[in-house]
Amino acid sequence: MSKNLEIESKTLLDKDTYEKMRDAFTAKSDFIQKNYYFDTPDFDLKNSDASLRIRILVDHAEQTIKVKETNPKENKYSERVEINDLLSVAQAEQMAQSAYEGTFFLFGGDVGNYLQKHYSNKAIHSLKLISWSQTRRILAAGPENCELTLDLTEFPDGYYDFELEIENDDPATIKKVLAELEKQFNFKADKENTNQSKVKRAWEHKK
């Protein structure tokens, strides 16, 4: 289990800007990940500003619940507490298959403990697969020794988009790096393209 505070800017890019940025910086890693998103029929998690997922990569997997930070450092960027439990790929794939088939299962570990503490038994026992996404994720060395995350994400209806994420413990560093990238690649982060969560987009583009 891990628990950490995630502070990041998330900016949707057009394809041309994404490709220029991808080619401009040295990739440290390049991989595929698939996310399965869960909620209740009444969207209890969404309504409490939380999200629940299973993430599967090539050699490992995890279950994660993201919740709103009650004492945020600032309000401009996405700030969430992440609670993670490691899973084997086989275990995660079995959970995802059960969700596809509509077979009920309980989340265990610290994620399960959080659900039991903050949601009713009725809500926990009605969790179901809402949507999914598949992302090609590139981690690159950016300005100010700050890691950049460049995502190309596909959703169930065939829609895909491009996103820049800048994660750092210091919001001032995020602001500085984002400003440098905006100038270099001629784009602007605004309320229309900033902090649009993948969960929300997966709901919008489910079949």
Supply angle C-alpha 173, 178, 183, rounded to 5: 130
CATH number for the domain spanning 27: value is 2.40.320.10
In this prediction, residue 1 carries a pLDDT of 56
3 state SS of 34: strand
Which secondary-structure segment (H or E) carries 147? strand 147-154
Beta bridge mates, 53? 37, 64
Q: Which domain holds residue 8?
A: 2-204
In this prediction, residue 5 carries a pLDDT of 81
**Contact in structure between 170 and 156 (CB atoms under 8 Å):** no
3 state SS of 25: coil
Beta bridge mates, 169? none
Euclidean distance between CA atoms 83 and 65, whole angstroms: 5
**Any idea what DSSP says for residue 94?**
H
The tens-digit pLDDT sequence of the chain (207 residues) is 577 888 899 999 999 999 999 999 999 999 999 999 999 999 999 999 999 999 999 999 999 999 988 776 667 788 889 999 999 999 999 999 999 999 999 999 999 999 999 999 999 999 999 999 999 999 999 999 899 999 999 999 999 999 999 999 899 999 999 999 999 999 999 989 998 989 999 999 988
Spatial CA neighbour of 31 closest among 65, 59, 70: 59
Euclidean distance between CA atoms 73 and 49, whole angstroms: 17
In the chain, how many domains are there?
1
